[in-house]
Structure 1
Amino acid sequence: MKGQFLSANLSFAVGVMSAMYLSMGVSGAHLNPAVSLSFCVLGNLPWRKLLPYSLSQVLGAYLASAVVFFMYYDAIMEYSGGVLTVTGPNETASIFATYPSEGMSLQTNFFDQVVGTATLLLCILPLNDKRNRPAPEALLPPIVAAVVLGIAMSMSSNCGGAINPARDLGPRLFTFTAGWGTEVFTSFSYFFWVPLVAPLVGAVLGSIFYLVFIQWHLPELEIDAKSQTEEENLGFILIFSV
């Protein structure tokens, strides 16, 4: 039996929350290449970290798919009749990667992913913006998980709501190597590139929108005299320690 709409999205959100708690101290909880790209664009993450972060995110999604496949191997084979397909009444590829609903055009799906990812960035950027009203660090994972759940529940009917290139590409590569074949890339008019490219576009647009319409209009951050003195002393020390 395949997971239902609500259970799948709840599991996805809890997975995001758990992964954030696990990786906050290592990478700042960078789980999504689109989010990492937006942080680079905004100057919050060095560009040199984008590629290794993205590759790690894809690899993590690939390995997670392998765990799911072997854990539910018997159930998958029973449900599919031993034939791993991307389309049809007993398809199982959508357990791993995202695929569009019947009748959806590539343009609609692309727009869907752009809007979904832009919404994600608009919701999470204020959480870490000291000039706005940032959330306590310990509460960031459940808040982001709630945002992801809201987007998944309201914007995943068209094409699965990936909003994360790694979340789609890693599982898609796994299904390609595990027996589903090239159909994971060619089906639905070569849909595979949509959840790979559209979230990147949406993340940049969402970041620009937040920057232009929100961040530029926030009050300047007030620095008390003690903090300013400590900062000046630190700068003085750094100058003479070079």
Structure 2
Amino acid sequence: MLSEESNGTWLSINMAWGIAVLMGVYCSEGVSGAHLNCAVSFAHAVYGRLPWWKLPGYCVSQVVGAFLGAGAIYLLDYQKLMKADPNKETTQANFATYPSEDINNLTAFYSEALATCMLLLCIYAITDHRNRSPGTVGTPFAFALMIMALGMSFGMNTGYAMNPARDFGPRLFTYMVGYGSKVWTADGFYFLIPIFGPFIGGVVGAGMYTFLVQVQHPNEPEDL
């Protein structure tokens, strides 16, 4: 937004998000299994891959991480932000997601739910050891390519949160640094959509893979 695409395009933005996920997986896989996304953690809890008691801590950590990330970018771009928008009226979209002007909230909800549905379906496929596994080295790269593809395919309507923490943390930050209540009330309280859309879509996508593919695998032979 600040460069008016002179220093970035839709392709480069999605590539950057994919590489960010790649680095995030490498940084956190050994500690948490690379739980970077509340919708992923919630779907894992629903289908028994994550104990429910761990879910609140993971989600809080994810929101805090997104909040701090927004703060780091705010400091980095502060001078440009103040020059472009000294009254903090328009640049909140540099941090949280907001819908395109030509869609309504129902379409926005469907976009977020569908994108996150595909996200979880792909994650479950990539991490299923009974599929053609990309291995410990290839898995993070598969995740990165997945994010790039989903962003380029589904991102134009809403900016593709696909992660309640990715939207809520930066949105809270913009509220706290003076962007006002519009970050909550704009577009008919749009902030609820990047929360509930990914949660619902993620459970659906994980369920699709679990019940349409995973349970169809032949039983593994028992060790004697």
Per-residue deviation, 1:7: 2.5
Q: Give the counterpart letter for 2:12 in structure 1.
A: S
Deviates more, 1:7-16 or 1:29-38: 7-16
Given candidates 14, 18, 30, the residue that maps to 1:13 is: 18
Deviates more, 1:57-66 or 1:101-110: 101-110
Distance of 2:94 and 2:15 partners within structure 1: 15
Deviates more, 1:115-124 or 1:137-146: 137-146
Summarize the alignment of residues 69-218 of structure 1 with structure 2, pairs less than 5 Å apart. 69-80=74-85, 82-85=86-89, 91-218=90-217
Alpha carbons 1:58, 1:170 under 8 Å: kept: yes
Indicate the residue corresponding to 1:232 in structure 2. none
Q: Give the counterpart letter for 1:142 in structure 2.
A: F
Deviates more, 1:52-61 or 1:7-16: 7-16
C-alpha offsets along residues 202-240 of structure 1, whole Å, 9 cap, x if unaligned? 0100011111111111112234xxxx35xxxxxxxxxxx
Distance of 1:195 and 1:203 partners within structure 2: 12
Given candidates 16, 21, 44, the residue that maps to 1:39 is: 44
Distance of 1:130 and 1:221 partners within structure 2: 11
Structure 2: gaps spanning 5 or more residues: none
Deviating runs (4+, > 6 A) in structure 1? none
Distance of 1:98 and 1:185 partners within structure 2: 11
Per-residue deviation, 1:29: 0.2
Alpha carbons 1:175, 1:184 under 8 Å: kept: yes
C-alpha offsets along residues 121-173 of structure 1, whole Å, 9 cap, x if unaligned? 11110222123232212221111011011111110111111101110000000
Structure 1: gaps spanning 5 or more residues: 86-90, 230-242
Q: Give the counterpart letter for 1:175 in structure 2.
A: T
Summarize the alignment of residues 47-66 of structure 1 with structure 2, pairs less than 5 Å apart. 47-66=52-71
Per-residue deviation, 1:179: 1.3
Report which of the two structures shows the higher radius of gyration computed on alpha carbons: 1
Distance of 2:139 and 2:203 partners within structure 1: 21
Aligned length: 219
Per-residue deviation, 1:178: 1.0
- TM, length-normalised to structure 1: 0.87
Deviates more, 1:127-136 or 1:193-202: 127-136
CA RMSD, Structure 1 to Structure 2 (Å): 1.2
